[in-house]
Amino acid sequence: MYEELLEDIAQQNRLREVNTVTKLIAGLGAVILCLLSASFVAPLFIALVLTATLLVLARIDPATYGKAFFGPLLFGGLGVGAIVLLAGGEGTFWSWQLLPWFSLSITQASINQGFFIFSRVIGGTSALLFIAFTTPMTDLFLVMRRARMPDEVLDLAMIIYRSIFLIMDQLVQVYQAQLMRLGYSSFRESIRSFATLAGSVFIASWEAGEDLTRAMEARCYEGKFAVLGEGRPLSLPSAAAVVSFLAVSAVVVKATSHIRLF
Amino acid sequence: MHIMEGFLPPEWAVFWWVLALPCLGFGIFQLRKILAADREALPLLGVTGGFIFILSSLKLPSVTGSCSHPTGTGLSSVCFGPWVTSVICAIVLLFQSLFLAHGGLSVLGANIISMGVVGPLAGWTIYRALRDTRVNMFFTVFLACAIADLCTYVVTSLELALAYPAEVGGVASSFVLFLGIFAITQVPLAIVEGVVLALVFKYIVQLKPEILVRLKVFPEARIRAAAGDA
């Protein structure tokens, strides 16, 4: 069901050993450049480069990548559809005056805008997936600690992270047991099964939390987890690659700002 | 329901971030206060966060069959209060954007406001208003959770409408369209979420009422009475 988290893949990708900050700068830089772009060209360019990097250098399975990429895009498509209908502007193809204050139309300008936003979503999603597939959360915690994130928040984040996998295991087990006993055969039945599933998982995770408290007390926890992690050394080739990627993307953003779809 | 990375123009992404940061700051302040009083609260808050993560990445049996998910914030807001819920929610949203590519980083501020601030606050308000009345405990939890989910979706629609006002009718008419599109999945979903979380609450009352007594969610006598009935 939900076993396959991107996190598992991140633990094994070929870019794992690259310095975490370098990878973060590449991903965050791509997010910012996509937002600053005024045309659809630059986000698509960024998406292309990052996708190629993930598939070729990080050796991510294309089918897994495709699934992770297109799922979220569906929701984006729905929103973009609404914007195309609302934005209005020059060159009307179709319009429908529903109420005096409410009309839907499809125009040249609105299609341009919709396509532009959709390309930004594609670029942004690829940047997120780049971070997701190449950087395990455990590496990020180390960066967060160095970036002076408040201790309470970081500890909370680490416990949440840990408990996700615990809860997921239990959830899958209970869910499969329910499924085998026809727990999801009708709508009413599914609601009931889902509620017992969530309830039992809540109680189980609560107990896991209490166990964790005892375990931490026994190990002299005093309000701050030690974060262990190998410092991944900054390597010149990867830093140079990220800098040139961001520089070229910035030039593309600047040079293509006037290009429209049609 | 999260806004996707890249969907909001930069000025709105920054605007929601600026709005979200003070809420998070206040949440962290509250979190520190809770932890200073009761150190054991940290693991419990942590597993609640894990629970919200799992719940909001699950697909609920929804009437339209679309991919909609509950937010789970109502229950946490009733148990721990709205501001701590915002901090938990912010962490969960960050994980979701980095584990599942749900939501995003530039739009994290907007998603924190809708799912982590307004939703829990609305749910909590309902819960506080009804807690000490004679209204049925489970109905109170149902309302709080359903309203928290509904408000999350209304605010998300508002965030989208503000960023992309319609040519005719401006923000108002694009708000109506976004509300309309998402209503198809979100209204039944909010009701289902309310029912499910109320049942979860009932299940906890039956099996482990001491959790709720300890958190002082409802007066002890009422929880004991409900557990005894069951």
A147-188 pLDDT, tens digit each: 888 888 888 888 888 888 888 888 888 989 998 998 888 888
CB-CB under 8 Å, B181 with A78: yes
The answer on pLDDT for A91 being more than 80 is: no
Structural domain count, chain B: 1
What is the predicted pLDDT for the residue at A228?
66
For residue A223, being part of any structural domain is answered with: no
Contact yes or no for A195 and B176 at CB 8 A: no
Q: What is the mean pLDDT of residues A59-71?
A: 82
The per-residue b/e assignment along A40-68, b for 16 or more CB within 10 angstroms, e otherwise, is bbbbbbbbebbbebbeeebebeeeebeeb
**For residue A5, is pLDDT > 90?**
no
- Tell me the average pLDDT across B130-148: 89
Contact B99 A192 (CB under 8 A): no
- Which residues in chain A have Cβ-Cβ distances shorter than 8 Å to B204? 199, 202-203
Query: Residue B118: what pLDDT?
Result: 94
Interface contact B31-A156, CB threshold 8 A: yes
Considering the domain boundaries, does residue A82 fall inside one? yes
Q: Flag whether pLDDT at A58 surpasses 90.
A: no
By the CB < 8 Å criterion, does B45 face chain A? Answer: yes
Over range B185-213, report the average pLDDT: 84
Q: Does residue B110 belong to any structural domain of this protein?
A: yes
A57-71, A104-118, A224-238: which range is least confident on average? A224-238
Per DSSP (E only), the strands in B132-224 are none
A124 with B87: Cβ contact below 8 A? no
Confidence class for position B29, pLDDT limits 50, 70, 90: very high
Coil vs helix vs strand at A259: coil
Q: List CB contacts (< 8 A) between A98 and chain B.
A: none
Do A127 and A159 lie in one domain? The reply is no
User: Is residue B62 classed as helix, strand or coil in its secondary structure?
Assistant: coil
Confidence tier at B65 by pLDDT (50, 70, 90): very low
Q: Give the count of domains, chain A.
A: 2
A228 domain residue, yes or no: no
Whether B46 sits inside 8 A of A35 (CB atoms) is no
d(CA A125, CA A127): 5
> Which pLDDT band, with edges at 50, 70 and 90, does B64 fall under?
very low
Residue A180, class by beta-carbon neighbours within 10 Å (0-12 exposed, 13-18 middle, 19+ buried)?
A: exposed
Q: Are residues A64 and A128 in the same domain?
A: yes
A217 to chain B, minimum CA–CA distance in Å? 9
Is residue A94 located within the same domain as residue A206? no
Chain B residues with CB under 8 Å of A171 CB are 54
Q: Do A77 and A164 share a domain, yes or no? A: no
What is the average pLDDT across B20-41?
88
The radius of gyration of chain A's CA atoms, rounded to the nearest angstrom, is: 23
B-chain residues within 8 Å CB-CB of A131?
98
pLDDT higher than threshold 90 for residue B217: no
Looking only at Cα atoms, what is the longest distance across chain B?
59
Is B104 inside any structural domain? yes
Is the model more confident about B159 or about A73?
A: B159
Average pLDDT, stretch A61-87? 80
Domain presence at residue B3: no
- Quick check: is A168 in a domain? yes
Q: Residue A230: what pLDDT?
A: 65
Answer yes or no: is B85 within a domain: yes
- The CATH number covering residue B37 comes to 1.10.1760.20
Full residue range of the structural domain in which residue B188 is found: 10-229
pLDDT given for residue B113 in this prediction = 94
Considering only the beta carbons, identify the residue of A129, A153, A198 that sits closest to B55: A198
B100: pLDDT strictly greater than 70 = yes
Q: Rounded to the nearest 5°, which phi and psi values hold at A104?
A: -110, 140
- DSSP per residue, A90-136: SSEEEEEEEETTEEEEEEHHHHHHHHHHHHHHHHHHHHHHHHHHH--
DSSP E strand stretches across chain A: 92-99, 102-107
Burial A97-108 (b: 16+ CB within 10 A, else e): eeeeebbbbbbe
Residue B47: how many CB atoms within 10 A of its CB?
26
Q: Work out the angle between the directed axes of helices A62-86 and A108-134 (0-180°, nearest 10).
A: 150
Average pLDDT, chain A: 84
Which residues have CB under 8 Å from A37's CB, separation 6+?
A: A43, A120, A123, A253, A256, A257
Q: Is residue A226 part of a domain?
A: no
Co-location of A212 and A242 in the same domain: no
Both A149 and A113 in one domain: the answer is no
**pLDDT of B43 higher than 50:** yes
Find the domain containing A198 and state its range.
142-218
pLDDT-derived band at B66, boundaries 50, 70, 90? very low
Q: SS3 sequence, A217-238?
A: HHCCCCCCCCCCCCCCCCCHHH
The pLDDT of residue B68 is above 80: no
> Counting beta carbons within 10 angstroms of the beta carbon of residue B45, is it exposed (0 to 12), middle (13 to 18) or buried (19 or more)?
buried
pLDDT, position A229: 65
Residue A1 placed within a domain: no
Does the pLDDT at position A2 exceed 90? Answer: no
Whether residue A225 lies inside any domain: the answer is: no
Q: Which residues of A touch B88 (CB under 8 A)?
A: 156, 160
Specify if A15 maps to a domain: yes
**Residue A21 or residue A17, greater confidence:** A21
**One domain for residues A82 and A111:** yes
When the pLDDT of each residue in chain B is averaged and rounded to a whole number, the result is: 84
ipTM confidence score: 0.85
Q: Rounded to an integer, what distance in angstroms lies between the CA atom of residue B106 and that of residue B123?
A: 26
Q: Identify whether the C-beta of residue B123 lies closer than 8 Å to the C-beta of residue B74.
A: yes
Residues A205 and A105 placed together within one structural domain of the fold: no
CA of A199 to nearest chain B CA: how many angstroms apart? Answer: 4
Containing A139, the helix (H) or strand (E) segment is helix A137-146
Q: Is residue B5 part of a domain?
A: no
